[in-house]
Every structure is written in C-alpha cells, then in structure tokens.
Structure 1
Amino acid sequence: MGAPKKLLILYYNFPPVKVPGAVRIHHFYKAALPWFDAIHVLATSNRRFFLQDSSLETGCQNIHEVPAWDLRRLTIRKTNENAPFVSSSLKERPLMRLLRQLVDSFPLNILIGDGGLIYILTGYLKARRLIKQEGITHVFSTFRPYSDHIIGYLLKGRFPEVYWIADFRDLHVDPVRKNTLCPPFQRWCNRQILRRTDLVTTVSEGLKREIQKLAPRVRVLRNGIGELSEEDQRPVKKFARFTISYTGALYTGKSDPGPLLEVIHNLLEDETLPASQTDLCYAGPTWLIWDTFIKKYGLDKITNNLGYLSRAEALAIQEKSHINLLLTWSTGNLKGVLTGKLFEYLAADTPILALINGPSDPELAGILSRCDRGAAFSSQSPGQKEQMRSFILEAFGQWKEELEDTPKKQPDYLKPYTWQVMMEQFIKELP
C-alpha cells in the first residue's frame, strides 16, 4: 500500500454556489473521493452571500473559509436574484466592458478581482498550515478566479514536494472575447506563474493547444457526465408539445441562435411545423438577450421564457425536451469551446443540435457522432440551414410516433465521458 494521498482544492466559489464553474468542481470532488485518503477545500467566506444551488451540495466536511474583500463582495446585492455576477445588460456597456477588462488583467485581477489580495494572503497562510498539519500531497487550483492559481503558485514555491495541478475551465486571455488589456503582457504573466506547475488541466483539445503555449505540461480533463442513480433512470415524461430548449447564458457576439430561429420561422410559415404543437423554451440568466432574438424572428407566440432557474429545474427541462440547443463558437485559431452544457445534454438522453458561430469544430462534432446524440452545424458551412431543417423534422417525426415514456440510459459509448472513468485515468498519471 502506497503513502497516503491527501488533496487540497483551492476554489473561491466552492459548491453549492450557483455558478457554472461550481458544477465542474462538484463532479471533480465527488469523483476524487475514492482516490484520496482525505480532501480539504479552501474557499472564501463570501460564498455565504452568494446564491446557492442545493443540487451542488458535496457533503464536504473539510471546507476552510477565508475572507475576501474584493470587488464582488463590495458590490453584491442582497436580493432573491443575488447571483455572484453582474447583469448581462450592464456587462455590455462600454465603460463596464473596460472595467471588466481591467479587473480580468494583471495586476488588478489579483488586487481587486475575485478573491483579491486579502483572500490570497489569508488563503496562502491557511493552506500552508493545512499542508503542514494534514500532510497534503496534492494541490488542485482552478480558474476562474486567478487568485486560486496565485495561492497555488505561492504554495508550490514554499513546498516544492507538493504536486500542483492548475485547472483552466476557460482561457485567461481569450482571443475571441478579448477580455484582457495588453494580451502579450498577460500571457507573459501566465508563463511565469504556470512554469511552477506540475500539471495543467483544461476542458478540451482546443483549449489545450492554446495553454500549451504557456505551460510545460497540459492534459485534457473534460467536464464530463455524472453516473446515473436509480432515480435518474426512471421513465421521463416528455413535454406534450414538440419542444426545442436552450438552458444557459447567451454571450453577445459569440452565442448566435439566429440561424436556427430563422429555420424554425420558415418551418412555421410554410406550416411544415405546426405552431399549435411547437414550443421554444428558454431558461437562463440572459432572457433579455433571448427575447431580442425571438422578436427579430417573430417567434413570440411559441416561446416559453422561464428565466433563471435552479440547476435541478434546468436539468429537468433538458430531459423533457425533444431537442436541446447547444450554442458555441470558434475561429480559425481557437476551437474546442466545449462548455459543461454539452455534457449535461449528453446525460439528458435528448437529441442535441449544436450551432457553432464560426468554422466547424471537429472535436465537438466527433463527440456528438461517437455518442450518437445529435449533430453540429457551423454558421460558415454551406447548406447548414437545410441540414438543420432536416434534423428538426426528423426529431418532430419521432415525437409524433412516441407512445410511451422511456427510461434514461447511459450506454457504453458515454462511459469514456463519465467522471468516474475520467478520474480513474487521471489518477493513474499522478505520483
């Protein structure tokens, strides 16, 4: 029997905070439990002020909180919609965009960005004591925020024998979002920090190619699918009307449902798709942006806008729908923007229509093909609207023929994308 392995997770928004990144860490924590003798977590006490999601509870008894007097804590509003992010409409104002770029860029991202200097210093001191007292052997930090990587960087300098894994759910310097100022300087800062890592993980091959320019050793650890429980495998009662759903946020200039909505508009116009039997369902924080698209294509009468729901409610919509819409983007230089939504959709056992704003993405198309769960359509591919039309009509035909509810299943071709399988492979690579 080998020496005990003890893990310290550094994550400002540790679950059950209701943010997209917490879903990945929820699954990571659960899948890592069998492989470590103990798991400790360092997070901020600010998480108590943020909107919570009970479906993300981990049951972790070793959460160590430290204060963070950062910009988010100072501006958070105590309302029923108290989510730890700025509203989508405010984000797109020019002055706010500049402020966000400043806060995302070195050095302000470690001074007043999520976490901030107080969180970094108190977090480092707390983590240093944990390493000494608990015999921590591995540290896992995850971006965003960058402050968790700074704590990991300081710990690796103090304890070079500890194995440090730095995780990136997104790129810090995103060439599509243009989210930072002076990108060359930001990349230089990343190189100086990540040179201390033992391993960097990220969610796709596309992001891996970008991060390999900054770090010595990078591997893919996808967002993945959780194992189905007996309750999860119960028969699912689908919506009575033929329903196409999108659950999640829309990102201005990147997420573009327009081509699909145009196809749906045309199908309704020529009555190939009866309006009386069709629903468009949206659930997410950017309902105002969604409404703008809906009005542009005249689809108000078939649209059901549910707003910001709990994760459990959103997952139920995905299961009950007949097509789940996935919106992503790519450029000639950046592909593989595989959000956690993809793996939620795979688990829902519902056909996926992936619409890529940009060139085709072989990585996304390959996953959908291998899992037999749908198809990817590129905004730059000729004939994509005709192909989407055929995809929708095929699903509509299947809906008309469905006579009874069927249980969810997790076939063998989904197993490589489950957290249990991915974690087993991941652990084998660690010392």
Structure 2
Amino acid sequence: MSKKNQKTKILLVSYLFAPNNSIGAVRPSKFAKYLIRQGHDVTVLCVAPLKLTDTLSPNMLELNSADTICISHSNLYKFFLKILNGCINFKKKLSLLIKFNGTSIKQPKKTSIKQPKETSKSSTQGNISLAKNYIYFILSIIESFDWYMQVRKWFKTKKVNSQHYDLMLSSYGPLSSHWVGNFLNTQGISKLWFADFRDPMLLDSKPYYARKFLSKWQNDILRNASALTTVSEGMKNQILSTYEGEINACVISNGYDNEDITLDSITKIEFTGGKLHFGYTGTLYGGRRNLKPIFNALRELINEGYISSDKVCFHYAGTEGSILKNQAAAFSLESNVVDYGLVSRVKAQEIQFSCNLLVVATWNNYNERGVLTGKIFDYMRANVPIIALIAGDTADSELSQLVKQTNVGISYEEANDNKDFYNLKKYILNQYNFVIENKKALHKPDTKTMMNYEYNKLVEKLVGFYNFLRRS
C-alpha cells in the first residue's frame, strides 16, 4: 500500500459513546461513524456503561467495525454510586411519604414570631444552591478521576508503541476524557492530539473555586494539545481568551445525521386535533434554560382574545418537568403542560415529529458565549418549525444566527426583548391560526444551508483540518 493510500489511525477518547444514549455520546459517536466510512482506522476508548437503558439509533451498529475499548469504573466507585443512589431514592420515598400522609401530621400552632426578612430567605437559598453546586462538582470530579485512574491501570498492562496513532481526539465532557487524552499524550502514543470541546468547561454557574481548578486544568490541556476544536465560534473565542499561549483552533459544529430516524420510519403520536402543540425534550439545566418567554407570549395572546387557552398544549420529556411547570405556572399555564418524564430516544423523537412547534433554549452571556446546544440539530430532522429562546445579556447569539441562516423558525433573545418579544407573539399567533386551519404548521426551511450541518460533511472538515496540520 502506498503512503498516499494508507489509512489514518485515529484514537477517539470519549467517556460517553454509543450505545450510550445521552446527548453527550452523539457527537463522538457520529465522528467515529463517518471517519470509519471515509476509510480511516478508528479505535475508541470509552467507559463501560454501568446501566444501559436505551441506545442510539440502529444505524450506529456500523461502529462494530471500530476497535472499541470499554474501561469500567472501579468496584469501589460502583459501591459508592450504589450507596449514593440508595440515599437519593430514600430521600424521594420519604418526601412522597410525607406528602401523602401530610394531613395526619400535626401542624404547629401559629405564633407571633417575627418572620425573617426576604433578603435573609434569599441569602439562605443562595447558600443552599452554592452548596449543591459544590457537591455536584465534587461528585463529577470523583467520577472523572476514578475512570482516569482505571485507564492508567489498563494502559500499564498494554504495550503501545510510540506514535502508534496518527491522531488522538478527546472529547469533553466530562473532564475525564481530556485527563485521559493528556495522559496518553505524555506517553507519546499519537503524533497529534486534538482537544475537542462540545461543552464549555468554564461556566459562570459553577462555584468560584471550581472555576479556578477548571481554568488551570483547561490551560494544561491547551498547553499540551496540538489543536483545539469547538462546536461554535463563541466557545472557541471564550476558551482562547483565558489562554495566554498559542494553539491551532477550528470550529466543528454539532450536526445531524441524515441516516437517523425519519418521518417515514416513525410512528407519530395522534395528539388532540384543533390545538397548537409545542414540544421540548431534554434538560433545562436547573432552569438556566428559560422557557418563560413562550408562556408569557401565550398568556398575553390569551388575555387579548387571540388564542383560546384550551387550544394550546406543551409536551415535555425529561427529568425536570417540575421546573417547566413552575415556569408555566408564573403565567397560569401549568395545566397546559404534559410531562412524559424520562423517555427513550425513540419516544422523544416521536414527540418531536408529532408536535407543531419545537422549542430549544440556551443562554448567551458576555463570559459564556457560543453555547450552541446540539438539540437544535436533533430537531431539524423532525422537519418542524423551531422556536429558539436565548437568555442572557449578549445579543446576536450563534443559535439565533443559525435559525436565521437555515430559516427553521424564529429566535427570541432576552438581550433584544423589546423587539424579539413582539415578533415571538406574532409568530406564535400566525402559527396558531395556520395550524387550526390546516392541521400543520407553516415551515419552509433552507435545506441547502442545512446540509452544511450533516455529520458526514462536518467530519470531512475535521479530516481537512487534520491534514492541514499534518503537512504543516
């Protein structure tokens, strides 16, 4: 075989990977799929799932041709996780027990004790929230460190030649993926190392000392990596703004796979006719993804007599239904929310394909720009209009630009509330009238522009970036 036709040997390090169904597994799994299809020799290093309740779409079985190395967590960590889950389940059961037996609990007598000031209450809630954030951070570090150490133990038992791989790509998060990438880079097993960020490492929502540690670790990663890849221009600029050195960087967006489930292969849910059906599937990040603008617009349209409250339904699938209902309750619309809870990926797609409008949410702040959720690309496959909600103090977000470029719907930015809220109301009203009359929403996306976000083309861009650096 000539040198020109030799396969590129690639090691993909990702804690999350197919058949794991989490959203974090999609990007690295699609990278591997299309790298293999383009003729490259791919090895995957990932975690062995503790429990597999759902899988990615069947076409991901093509990944069987990849050499997949699944490293399990330690028995000590598994025992720790079992104890932790037991405590959480006990707390939930205790809360339910108190709720259902609350009428039999003797209520304390009212006293004339002076109520604490609202500022004191807010301060207490803030301290509780801060404590929870530190706990979540510590738990994530324990998880990452345990898997990192298990990979190190595994590596000691293997004999891997220096520069065995042409390219190693580690994908964040969690942190363990880059820790492992950094360790393997010090062992010299690959000629080049790409540190891929599908999520931002430094978030304002993280506690102060957590950000200090993460900032140090991020700089260590950038110092040792050959190149940086991110999902958005804003994220790339944010990461580089905290790094004093120089590193090659490239934006490889998230995207969608044309071979994923399609309208012809899915069983649509027969929702009640004569209604406008909204849909949202996924996490709300504890409320940072704020859907209140939609409920606010609906409430005003209802009060103004343009929309009937019994002809609007909001479908939610995920683990934070109570947060969404609280957001809807602020506008007396909680009864319009249907909460499916945590569902399979296929069920989530059935909901997406069956709704008239799909909602995606993110934030765009001065210190957190370019948070471009992969959910919008998931929604594109449903061929349904999309409403993008962007919280934060910085306008002209990349999510808003993407919606305009592809003409897949409308965006609302908190930073442009005066203009965008009016446009949001108008858009919802127009779609409401169109759906009531035609039983489907008005949707004319720019399919040519959308094709730029197909994963096969994104992987071609990734390979092109690698070849550019390889020849440099």
Q: TM-score, normalised by structure 2?
A: 0.78
- Pick the aligned partner of 1:143 from 167, 172, 186: 172
More helix as a share of residues: 2
Q: Is 2:105 aligned against 1:74?
A: no
CA–CA separation in structure 2 for the residues paired with 1:183 and 1:229:
37
Question: How far is 1:94 from its partner?
Answer: 4.5
CA 368–114 in structure 1, closer or farther in 2 if over 3 Å, else same = farther
Specify the alignment match of 2:68 in structure 1: 63
CA 21–185 in structure 1, closer or farther in 2 if over 3 Å, else same = closer
CA–CA separation in structure 1 for the residues paired with 2:440 and 2:208:
51
Aligned length: 415
Specify the alignment match of 2:373 in structure 1: 339
- Pick the aligned partner of 1:209 from 229, 234, 237: 237
CA–CA separation in structure 1 for the residues paired with 2:78 and 2:361:
28
**SS in structure 1 of the partner of residue 33 of structure 2:** helix
Specify the alignment match of 2:215 in structure 1: 187
Specify the alignment match of 2:205 in structure 1: 177
Q: Is 2:453 aligned against 1:417?
A: yes
CA–CA separation in structure 1 for the residues paired with 2:365 and 2:442:
39
Q: Is 2:255 aligned against 1:224?
A: yes
CA–CA separation in structure 1 for the residues paired with 2:135 and 2:185:
31
Question: How far is 1:392 from its partner?
Answer: 0.2
Question: How far is 1:139 from its partner?
Answer: 1.3
> Which amino acid is 1:207 matched to?
M
CA–CA separation in structure 1 for the residues paired with 2:11 and 2:289:
35
Residues 322-345 of structure 1: per-residue CA shift (max 9 Å, x gap)? 111111111123221111111112
CA–CA separation in structure 1 for the residues paired with 2:79 and 2:6:
40
**Would the aligned equivalents of 1:123 and 1:151 in 2 still touch at CA under 8 Å?**
no
Specify the alignment match of 2:431 in structure 1: 395
Question: How far is 1:20 from its partner?
Answer: 1.7
Q: Is 2:413 aligned against 1:378?
A: yes
Specify the alignment match of 2:332 in structure 1: 298
CA 281–72 in structure 1, closer or farther in 2 if over 3 Å, else same = farther
Question: How far is 1:264 from its partner?
Answer: 1.0
Q: Report 1:281-296 matches (<5 A).
A: 281-296=315-330
Question: How far is 1:415 from its partner?
Answer: 0.7
Q: Is 2:6 aligned against 1:3?
A: yes
> Which amino acid is 1:385 matched to?
F
Specify the alignment match of 2:99 in structure 1: none
Q: Is 2:288 aligned against 1:251?
A: no
CA 102–180 in structure 1, closer or farther in 2 if over 3 Å, else same = farther
**SS in structure 1 of the partner of residue 257 of structure 2:** coil
Residues 285-328 of structure 1: per-residue CA shift (max 9 Å, x gap)? 11121122222321133221111111221122222211111111
Q: Is 2:398 aligned against 1:363?
A: yes
**Which one has a bigger Cα radius of gyration?**
2
Specify the alignment match of 2:51 in structure 1: 49
> Which amino acid is 1:102 matched to?
I
Specify the alignment match of 2:294 in structure 1: 260
> Which amino acid is 1:429 matched to?
F
**Would the aligned equivalents of 2:148 and 2:180 in 1 still touch at CA under 8 Å?**
no
Question: How far is 1:348 from its partner?
Answer: 1.9
Residues 89-122 of structure 1: per-residue CA shift (max 9 Å, x gap)? 9xx7543322223345xxxx3x653644432413
Specify the alignment match of 2:110 in structure 1: none
CA–CA separation in structure 1 for the residues paired with 2:444 and 2:411:
22
Q: Which moved more, 1:133-142 or 1:162-171?
A: 133-142
**Would the aligned equivalents of 2:134 and 2:210 in 1 still touch at CA under 8 Å?**
no
**SS in structure 1 of the partner of residue 165 of structure 2:** coil
CA–CA separation in structure 2 for the residues paired with 1:49 and 1:180:
33
CA 230–355 in structure 1, closer or farther in 2 if over 3 Å, else same = closer
CA 222–93 in structure 1, closer or farther in 2 if over 3 Å, else same = same
CA–CA separation in structure 2 for the residues paired with 1:123 and 1:398:
59
Question: How far is 1:123 from its partner?
Answer: 4.7
Question: How far is 1:354 from its partner?
Answer: 1.0
Identity, % of aligned positions: 22
**Would the aligned equivalents of 2:431 and 2:442 in 1 still touch at CA under 8 Å?**
no
> Which amino acid is 1:374 matched to?
G
CA 21–235 in structure 1, closer or farther in 2 if over 3 Å, else same = closer
**RMSD over aligned Cα, in angstroms?**
3.4
Specify the alignment match of 2:191 in structure 1: 162
CA–CA separation in structure 1 for the residues paired with 2:238 and 2:223:
15
> Which amino acid is 2:398 matched to?
E
> Which amino acid is 2:247 matched to?
P
Residues 26-53 of structure 1: per-residue CA shift (max 9 Å, x gap)? 22222222234322211223x0424332
Residues 242-286 of structure 1: per-residue CA shift (max 9 Å, x gap)? 111111111235211112211112222333112332211111111
Specify the alignment match of 2:462 in structure 1: 426
**Would the aligned equivalents of 1:167 and 1:202 in 2 still touch at CA under 8 Å?**
yes
Q: Is 2:127 aligned against 1:99?
A: no
Q: Which moved more, 1:33-42 or 1:319-328?
A: 33-42
> Which amino acid is 2:238 matched to?
E
**SS in structure 2 of the partner of residue 223 of structure 1:** coil
Specify the alignment match of 2:116 in structure 1: none
> Which amino acid is 2:380 matched to?
L
CA 133–316 in structure 1, closer or farther in 2 if over 3 Å, else same = farther
Question: How far is 1:204 from its partner?
Answer: 0.8
**Would the aligned equivalents of 1:102 and 1:181 in 2 still touch at CA under 8 Å?**
no
> Which amino acid is 1:68 matched to?
H
**SS in structure 2 of the partner of residue 326 of structure 1:** strand
**Would the aligned equivalents of 1:114 and 1:145 in 2 still touch at CA under 8 Å?**
no
**Would the aligned equivalents of 1:349 and 1:408 in 2 still touch at CA under 8 Å?**
no
Specify the alignment match of 1:35 in structure 2: 38
**SS in structure 2 of the partner of residue 173 of structure 1:** coil
Q: Is 2:144 aligned against 1:113?
A: yes
> Which amino acid is 1:366 matched to?
Q
Residues 162-219 of structure 1: per-residue CA shift (max 9 Å, x gap)? 2211111112221x22256253453233222322212221111111111223361221
Residues 372-399 of structure 1: per-residue CA shift (max 9 Å, x gap)? 1112111232133222110101111221
Consecutive unaligned residues of structure 1, counting only runs of 5 or more, are none
CA–CA separation in structure 2 for the residues paired with 1:21 and 1:141:
13
CA 125–5 in structure 1, closer or farther in 2 if over 3 Å, else same = farther
